[in-house]
Chain A
Amino acid sequence: MNIIVLVKQVPDPEALVEIAASGKDLNIEPKFAINLFDEFALEEALRLKEKHGGSVKAIGLGGPKAIEALRTAIAMGADEAVLIEDESFAARDGYDTAFVLSRALQKEAFDIILSGRQAIDRDRAEVPQMVAQFLGLPHVGVIVKLDVADGKATAESALEGVAEVIEVGLPAIFTAQKGLNEPRVPLITGVMKAMKVQIPRVTLTDLGVSKDAGQKTSVLRYLPPKKRPAVQFIEGEPAQAAREIVRILADVERAI
């Protein structure tokens, strides 16, 4: 069973973020981490490999910093990793990203592609679905369980209140939801190995993709979140206060 995991390096959830003076960029404190949901994907890939044999390969796309997310994958137990290196991808859109990834994936032999359900930086939840589209593969999203047998996979997808059990022929793409597993903490020897391993890098040119392959959307500007209005205390006897609340909700806020 050959499994490929798409891995993204994202700003650490604790990194401070502010809108640049131009309003067109974000200033993000340079602290990075592997995307949380991709860790679930990696863990699932490693467990499938432990059960069924085969190999796990992590693929990342981004600037040289992104190599660290791939090293994390190696530390956890992935057999190999490759970085599609292009600094501009920090600012490019999901369509473009999916296009380039699908080009890279066309050169790979795989039964399963796993990724996180979304990247926690932009939260768009779009790349794996588009990769599936480009490759003409089925996609099962937001999974919390995955079993494989006889060239088919059975996955549970978490919905509001229920879990949907889905069967799909392989190869297919799955996106991991929280609850799928508990990602392992790497062995210290794994970390040492990952420190030293040479992670190959390929360029867009190597993949035969031109620089401006497919960007379809662009960010115009960033707006700060709306300021929360000051808390308003309503005083008085309970019955009178309740009447006042209803009046504000109905006449001032027009919420009811």
Chain B
Amino acid sequence: MDFSLSKEQKFFKGQVSRALSRIVAPFADSIDKTDMFPRELFRELGALGYYGIRYPSDIGGMGADCISFTILAEELARASIGFAAIATMQCLMGTDFVYRFGNARQKRKYLIPAIKGNKIGTIAFTEPDCGSDLGGIKTRAVKNDRGYVLTGRKLWITDGDVADFVTVAATTDPGKRLGGIGFFLVEKGTPGFSTGQKIDKISARGAATMELIFDECQVPAESLMGEEGKGAKYLNDILSEIRIMIAGLGLGLAKSAFVAGLNYARQREAFGRPIGKFQLIEEKLAEMEVRIKAAELLTYHAAWLKDNGSLTGKQAAMAKFYSTEAACYVVDEVSRIHGAYGLAEEYPAQRYFRDARFLLFGGGTSEILKTIIAKDVMKRSDFEIN
């Protein structure tokens, strides 16, 4: 049993942390305030090779394991949740289907430039009338002699306004629910594909969430990523990784917020002493520390299990559930420690408070995750040993 990062992993974490605190963190506030896609910054991180971290070196990636990717997610979130939403979309969900199922031409055209930060990719499954219930999507893919015709609407699509290509979930057979879903690679500018409204939101600003409209959008047969009807399975293949990544985001945000709270508790005085010396504030600090450490253990344990080939869906669900809830708890307590200043625009506490909410939904809501955990529990007579 060994609970520590290796020397190499610690070095990696230190380097990534230094780099992101230098290049990204200074813009966290302006990304949040302007709610604009930070294009320069996006390119800069691409040029440094960050988006290829999960992919093998022969296509410009660095072949990193899940622990390293989790470290990156954590450090991105420490710097800026808005930017983290953009960068992790690019590293994982936005590019993974074309990596796994794209042909050589598609990889050359979309994946390689995306890894370099020259093209933006995103994924679209959520619709106005369905989110958690993926099997209920209504966007249709109808086969014809030129490929498929897509019709339907997507909502809440990260980077939908700027994405150069989108991996879109559509059903070829609505009756089959999950079994009818396929993913299609659609390029910006394809006739019949347009963007609709932007959803103004209080969390993860900078990563715009958009409506995408498909109106008899003809795509070639090669747009189908993998096989018809297997989309849900393909998404499931990376779902645990997505959950561990979001758990990493929760961890990073919680740590940033905690440090802000700690510093404030040291500096702010009331009744003749630093507020951090009051037992009730100490209790907050202790409680937060424990929850963050517990989230860290669950998150990196899940990443470690993934790297060792023994991850179960439940482990990833627990990590995402606990870490994101811990983040929500921490940002709330940090806001309280700040008193009125927790509401002031000039302090980051209010941004942390808003940003944490974003983590609760994508990758499975806490309710859905608890359902998964409970299902697993019901199959057992006792605790497993691992």
Query: Could you tell me which A residues sit within 8 Å of B by CB distance?
Result: 33, 68, 71-72, 75, 185-189, 191-192, 194-196
Contact = CB atoms under 8 A, between A and B. Distances in A.
Interface stretch (B46-54, B156-164, B303-311, B370-378): B46-54
Given A195-B8, A196-B8, A187 B15 contact: no
A150 B265 CA distance: 58
B12 A189 contact: no
B11 A192 contact: no
A185 B11 contact: no
Interface of B: 8-9, 11-12, 14-16, 18-19, 22-23, 48-50, 52-53, 57, 62, 64
Contact of B19 (A33, A185, A189): A185
A129 B8 CA distance: 34
A187 B49 contact: yes
A194 B22 CA distance: 19
16 contacts: A68-B14, A72-B15, A185-B19, A185-B22, A185-B48, A188-B16, A188-B49, A188-B50, A188-B53, A188-B62, A189-B62, A191-B11, A192-B12, A192-B64, A194-B11, A195-B12
Contacts of A191: 11-12, 15-16
Q: Interface SS of chain B: helix, strand, loop or mixed?
A: helix
Nearest to A31: B14
A33 B12 contact: no
A71 B12 CA distance: 10
Given A188-B50, A192-B62, A192-B64, A75 B8 contact: no
Contacts, number: 40
Contacts of A194: 11, 15
Nearest to B57: A189
Which residue, of A72, A188, A194, has the highest number of chain B Cβ atoms within 10 A?
A188
A192 B9 CA distance: 10
Contacts of A75: 15
Which residue, of B15, B53, B62, B64, has the highest number of chain A Cβ atoms within 10 A?
B15
Contacts of B50: 188
6 nearest CB pairs, A to B: A188-B49, A195-B8, A185-B19, A191-B15, A192-B62, A187-B49
Which residue, of A68, A185, A191, has the highest number of chain B Cβ atoms within 10 A?
A191
A189 B16 CA distance: 12
A215 to B, nearest CB: 30
Contacts of B14: 68
B355 to A, nearest CB: 22
Nearest to B63: A192
A63 to B, nearest CB: 14
Given A72-B15, A75-B15, A185 B23 contact: yes
Given A192-B62, A192-B64, A186 B11 contact: no
A72 B52 CA distance: 21
A202 to B, nearest CB: 20
A187 B52 CA distance: 11
A68 B15 CA distance: 10
B219 to A, nearest CB: 33
A187 B11 contact: no
Given A185-B48, A187-B49, A188-B62, A195 B11 contact: yes
Contacts of B52: 188
Contacts of A196: 8
A225 B49 CA distance: 45
Which residue, of A33, A189, A196, has the highest number of chain B Cβ atoms within 10 A?
A189
Contacts of A195: 8-9, 11-12
A68 B49 contact: no
B64 A186 contact: no
A185 B44 CA distance: 10
Contact of B18 (A33, A188, A192): A33
Given A192-B62, A192-B64, A186 B15 contact: yes
Nearest to B20: A185
A68 B7 CA distance: 9
A116 to B, nearest CB: 17
Contacts of A187: 48-49
Contacts of B57: 189
B239 to A, nearest CB: 25
A252 B12 CA distance: 57
B62 A68 contact: no
